[in-house]
Structure 1
Amino acid sequence: MFSYEVVKTFTETEQHLYRFIMKNRDKVVYMRVRELSESTHVSPASIVRFTRKLGFDGFSEFKVQLKQEIRSTGKRKTADTVEVLEEFFERTLNRDYEKQLEEAVQMIAGASLVVFFGIGTSGILAEYGSRYFSNLKKRTFYIKDPFYPNPAEQFDNAVIIILSVSGETDHVIDQAQNMREYGSKIISITNTGKNTLAALSDINIPYFVTPEMIDRTNITTQIPVLFLLESIAKKTYNREYT
């Protein structure tokens, strides 16, 4: 994250931020922008510019990566789910989630079919999302098989909601490209906003939680995905029936 090439381009203010973060990494990952600003006497706007210079969308995404690096150098230990969710729900109040959700609702409301797709744990959530939307009177079905055939006429006027933690799984990308060719609109829910699936999507909703791996198995919490699916489903129902 802090390569020599990047560090050498830092301004005096950025060098000050860099030194503070390196000395207080364990504290910084739980700070808000305003708290870091007060501790370093650097404006929140300068902190956000600093994180974007490092290649992140903002401070929240920067903290996710910083926490991941801290964990990779220490003992392997699963994250406290409550802490992870507190961070997520704190961000939902600070990020422009409402606008993204409303855009997704508008797209779904105009569709005659909503298809959910995911693989592995995301496939289980795709099944859940399909059932939840169906309970709220939306015509849906789900796909958990990455090799599911896609006859074009089956997805006329459809929106596909694709769930993927990384947004980089080959089979997921292939399915997204197929759906795009058939004219389907794509809404993706991923852990970050910068990935291949997000780039292929009409709407991407990132949730930014700390990725977790145990013996090469991804155990990143999916509770934010459930929250987003249920929020979109209820907003769609309220738009169409109330």
Structure 2
Amino acid sequence: MFSYEVIKQFTETEQHLYRFIMENRDKVIFMRVRELSEATHVSPASIVRFTRKLGFDGFSEFKVQLKQEVKTSTRKKTADTVEVLEEFFERTLNRDYDQQLDAAVNMIHQASLVVFFGIGTSGILAEYGSRYFSNLKKRTFYIKDPFYPNPGEQFENAVMIILSVSGETDHVILQAQNMREYGSKIISITNTTKNTLSGLSDINIPYFVTPEMVDRTNITTQIPVLFLLESMAKRTYNREHA
């Protein structure tokens, strides 16, 4: 409703009105024009012109849309982390994760370099994974810049571990395609199995937890990713130092 293009055209009075509405949305949806006028010291006529500038026929229609946005943006309680983890570990015990992890460890063992890649929160975890593997004597490198130039020859005999909740992020897919073109192996850790990144991977390890969003931001727990990274790192170390 309040796009950047519209906001930058507001007059000083309209900016004042806009700020008041944003700070008091829960109250404004129940106000009449005159009440809003008294609260903001802006004339009723100016308020009506303001709503028409936004594309509405009048203040009543504006309030209907504002009420809908307030309802949509009302935050629900986030899931209890303990319950989510209990769900993950119960599912882990009932799936053949050992087989998937062992296959990943074999691939990592044969590689001379392990490259970790992710964007956003996954990028932070990629850095963590790289450091954790390094602590356990494995040569690693991490990338969390989606525009990092990726000439595959610099990663000769490498395996890339790609972290992505959805497995559908464009820059992640591009990196995976580049690595495959240069013959590198790919291990992906995603929340599901049916995604583009999974299809590009030699090994995909899904963790299947309930996705969560807050204001269009993905807050799906990443604790399972830490568990999987540490499990692979320790198994690799034990394999190479048996």
Query: What TM-score comes out, normalization by structure 1 length?
Result: 0.69
> Which ranges of structure 2 fall in alignment gaps of 5 or more residues?
1-71
Contact kept, 8 Å, 2:160 with 2:187, in 1: the verdict is yes
The residue number in structure 2 matching 1:139 is 139
The residue number in structure 2 matching 1:177 is 177
Contact kept, 8 Å, 2:186 with 2:203, in 1: the verdict is yes
Greater C-alpha Rg: 2
- Give the Å deviation of 1:156: 0.6
Indicate yes or no: 2:112 matched with 1:112. yes
Following TM superposition, the consecutive aligned residue runs of length 4 or more in structure 1 with deviations greater than 6 angstroms are none
The residue number in structure 1 matching 2:232 is 232
The residue number in structure 2 matching 1:68 is none
The residue number in structure 2 matching 1:165 is 165
- Give the Å deviation of 1:152: 2.4
Indicate yes or no: 2:196 matched with 1:199. no
Indicate yes or no: 2:211 matched with 1:211. yes
The residue number in structure 2 matching 1:43 is none
1-side partners of 2:149 and 2:76: how far apart? Answer: 40
The residue number in structure 1 matching 2:82 is 82
Instruction: Give the root-mean-square deviation of aligned CA atoms.
Output: 1.3
Structure 2 residue identity aligned to 1:149 = P
Q: Which deviations, in whole Å up to 9, do the C-alpha atoms of 1:33-88 show, x marking residues without a partner?
A: xxxxxxxxxxxxxxxxxxxxxxxxxxxxxxxxxxxxxxx9x972200000000000
The residue number in structure 2 matching 1:36 is none
Structure 2 residue identity aligned to 1:184 = S
1-side partners of 2:141 and 2:94: how far apart? Answer: 33
Structure 1 residue identity aligned to 2:233 = A
Structure 2 residue identity aligned to 1:213 = M
1-side partners of 2:75 and 2:219: how far apart? Answer: 16
Structure 1 residue identity aligned to 2:190 = T
Secondary structure of 1:114's partner?
strand
2-side partners of 1:227 and 1:75: how far apart? Answer: 29
> Which ranges of structure 1 fall in alignment gaps of 5 or more residues?
1-71
Structure 2 residue identity aligned to 1:144 = K
1-side partners of 2:225 and 2:152: how far apart? Answer: 28
Structure 2 residue identity aligned to 1:154 = Q
Q: Which deviations, in whole Å up to 9, do the C-alpha atoms of 1:127-172 show, x marking residues without a partner?
A: 0000000000000010000111112221110000000000000010
How many pairs align? 170
Structure 1 residue identity aligned to 2:148 = Y
Q: Which deviations, in whole Å up to 9, do the C-alpha atoms of 1:166-219 show, x marking residues without a partner?
A: 000001000100011011100000000110000000000000000000000000
2-side partners of 1:152 and 1:145: how far apart? Answer: 16
Contact kept, 8 Å, 2:114 with 2:140, in 1: the verdict is yes
1-side partners of 2:95 and 2:153: how far apart? Answer: 37
